[in-house]
Structure 1
Amino acid sequence: MPVDATLDIERSLFAAGAPVVIGVDEVGRGALAGVVAVGACAVLPTCGEHPTGLRDSKLLSPTRRAALVPLAHNWALAIAVGEAEPAEIDDVGIIAALGLAGRRALIALHAAGVDVAAAEVLVDGVHDWLTPALMSPPSICTRAKADRDCASVAAASVVAKEHRDALMRADHEVYPVYGWDGNKGYGSPAHLAAIAEHGPSPRHRHSWLRASPAAADARGAPAREV
């Protein structure tokens, strides 16, 4: 049974001297269309207890996730979301695009008054894709399952997921044949079939489609050239 994230890791970082902890998580890394988004949630030792029910966004119902967004904003010092566009993913690759989105999220936190340079940045996962994107990186640590275990990262995950889902719903209004209001740009059978029938849109990651046999031949027909 899923359990709520805690502040145990953040408190250990505060005890070690960090004045602020920034939890970071990405959303949309594996999608075929739409932006990749990175959430960044800054918390202080004085922020108090996190909202009840806060956990990795993948473990929450859409209704509960949406309800947690304002609670997370009210709890944290600041939360920001950075994006990298599909064309940027095509140009530089997904790892570098994650770095671009993460850098933009940290810049937004800095503009909101967060002392990013002094922070301990807690990134979900085992690969540090953020440091290479920063000219003067703060202290960054990676942690597997941080989106499950760490409240700051879970909050970043929830806010970034809701942010990206809203963007995909808006893109769906422009390109409804792909069903992005439901699949959110991921490679569902219906999405792959729509790509095979209609070809890719400007919101698709074209380099991914060229590299994906399933996306290129969802119905036994070649994908259109892009």
Structure 2
Amino acid sequence: MAVADPTLEFEQSLFEGGASFVIGCDEVGRGAIAGPVGVGMSVVAPGMAGIPVGLRDSKMLSEKKRELLAPLASEWALHSAVGLASADEVDRLGITACLGLAGKRALTALHEAGVAIRSSVILLDGHADWLSPALASPLRVRTQVKADRDCASVSAASVIAKVHRDRMMIEADSRIPGYGWAGNKGYGSAAHYEAIALLGPSELHRLSWLKQPALG
């Protein structure tokens, strides 16, 4: 097994602590200047095995490998969901609140699919709990640094969310041309800023995030 291969060891410790399910959770698009911020979630249960071969944190994979792994990760997880918050919501509410909003929307989708949210533990990558403030009632949320690398439930959520958002941005290339969405996925490359200076910001841009020189 490679060092970067995620396992279910940490999730197993949460099952031993009484969790019925572990809901791995990771965000995507947080640092983009355009497009939505997304939160992916994948549900695992005690006794699960068969982690997809090659599963990694999405940042450690090429676009081609992510595309191949995303359906495998979705099939492996008991359930999965991606919640989104729009660029306009990011401008109005701020990025941290929108992470919580997108996470709440993903949790709602899982609840509607029949997942027992209240007896689950939600496992967030990192050290900050940005989800709990968005919830109307408290749930069991656990943070873990490098969970996207080490915990298979979070790695799966990472890949599922990244591919979902990337496909949205690629589709936008034909609908709102000129910004190179298929290549930059909404992140702030030099060519992207040049396009903004030439064309002005689009409906997908987070206006509060644009550097003033780029606005021309």
Specify if TM > 0.5: yes
Counterpart Cα distance in 1 of 2:116 and 2:74: 17
Deviation by residue 1:58-97 (Cα, 9 ceiling, x = unmatched)? 1011121111112112211100000000100011000000
Q: Give the distance between the partners of 2:53 and 2:191, measured in 1 at CA.
A: 36
In the TM superposition, residue 16 of structure 1 has moved relative to its aligned partner by 1.3
**For structure 1, which segment, 69-78 or 80-89, has the greater mean C-alpha deviation from structure 2 after superposition?**
69-78
- 1:150 counterpart = 2:151: yes
Question: How far apart, CA to CA, are the structure 2 residues paired with 1:53 and 1:142?
Answer: 24
Aligned pairs, how many? 215
Q: Match for residue 49 of structure 1?
A: 50
2:129 is matched with which residue?
128
1:125 maps to amino acid = G
Residue identity matched to 2:114: G
Q: Quick one: distance in 2 between partners of 1:64 and 1:204?
A: 28
1:34 aligns with 2:30: no
Deviating above 6 A after TM superposition, structure 1's stretches of 4 or more consecutive aligned residues are none
Percent identity between matched residues is 57
Q: 1:45 to 1:61 in 2, by over 3 A?
A: same
Distance 1:46 1:80 in 2: 21
2:99 partner amino acid: L
Check the 8 A contact 1:95/1:129 in 2, yes or no: yes
Matches of residues 168-183 of structure 1 in structure 2 within 5 Å? 168-183=169-184
5+ residue gaps, structure 2, are none
RMSD: 1.2
1:217 and 2:205 aligned: no
* d(CA) in 1 for partners of 2:15, 2:55: 20
Which residue of 2 is the match for residue 77 of structure 1? 78
CA distance in 2, matches of 1:202, 1:71: 33
Give 1:102-141 correspondences, 5 Å limit. Answer: 102-141=103-142
Alpha-carbon distance, 1:187 to partner: 0.4
1:115-137 deviations in Å (ceiling 9; x for gaps): 01111010011111000000113
Question: 27-36 or 60-69, which moves further after superposition?
Answer: 60-69
**Deviation at 1:49?**
2.8
Match in the other structure for 2:95: 94
> Which piece of structure 1 moves more, 66-75 or 120-129?
66-75
Equivalent residue, structure 2, for 1:203? 204
Q: Is the 8 A contact 1:36 1:85 kept in 2?
A: yes
Give the 3-state SS of the residue equivalent to 1:46 in structure 2.
coil
Q: CA deviation at 1:111?
A: 0.8
